[in-house]
Structure 1
Amino acid sequence: MKDLLTTTSSIIVILFCCCVLFLGDDADQHLSEPDSEMITARNHKKFLKARHPLAKTTLFRRVQSVRLKDGVLMFVTADQNGLKEHFFIIRDKNVILVKKDAGDMPPDSIKFDADGHGGIQVTIPNTFELDPLQDLLSCRN
């Protein structure tokens, strides 16, 4: 009789533990649903201000010269191994060329800001003699 009582109580304890484990998994799923809240009228501004996961900024330092010819931005940088040429095709892409004072970046650098949605903003400081409007208008189609 004692063995039967011990076996029965052990089975009840095991079943209770299994129920707690299965109910614990369901509780975790229900708790995570408010965290993955859909975009609504009250939180869309926060979503729009957040940086896209594919957005990135690239800064080329020690730029020696910059040219824009036939829809290709060409610039030369200096590194330990010497001079290195870079070519960036701006034709048929969503590229914004910005020529401004180098207040937030070194004067001998070029900054590429990708927004993650296919658009790129290229910032060129005024220290380089480049007229983007004239160079773009002189492109051959």
Structure 2
Amino acid sequence: MAVRASGVRQQSIWASVVSDDAGALRDWLLALGFTEDLLIPGEDDGSIHHCQLDWPDGGRVMLSSTGERPTPCRPGTSSLHVVTTDPDAVMERARALEARVVHDVVDQTDYPSREFTVADPDGNHWTFATFAG
């Protein structure tokens, strides 16, 4: 098995997400704008042992199929905040995927952010926001 990595080093905390259909979640995240850095196939056909997906504005998410790695994480229990310079463009991609909208695009009034939240196929919540802290 050949494992290829991009060589890009991300200087941040990486979220880890477990999925009952990691291949579908990987494709969903790629369609939203993530890029693949690393993919290690799992033991079962179509499963993913480990996948690293990078966000263009910085940061990385790790993804694996349920049962591939010992972890207390369970599908549909994560809530992730992704900083983006253009949440409206990401929302257009999410709508094209028919993602379930949890919170529509809003300009926050208590802090400077334009943001929205969608649920992925497993039910995890992904907030895409201009607020970076």
What's the TM-score once normalised by structure 1's chain length?
A: 0.26
What's the TM-score once normalised by structure 2's chain length?
A: 0.28
Larger helix percent:
1
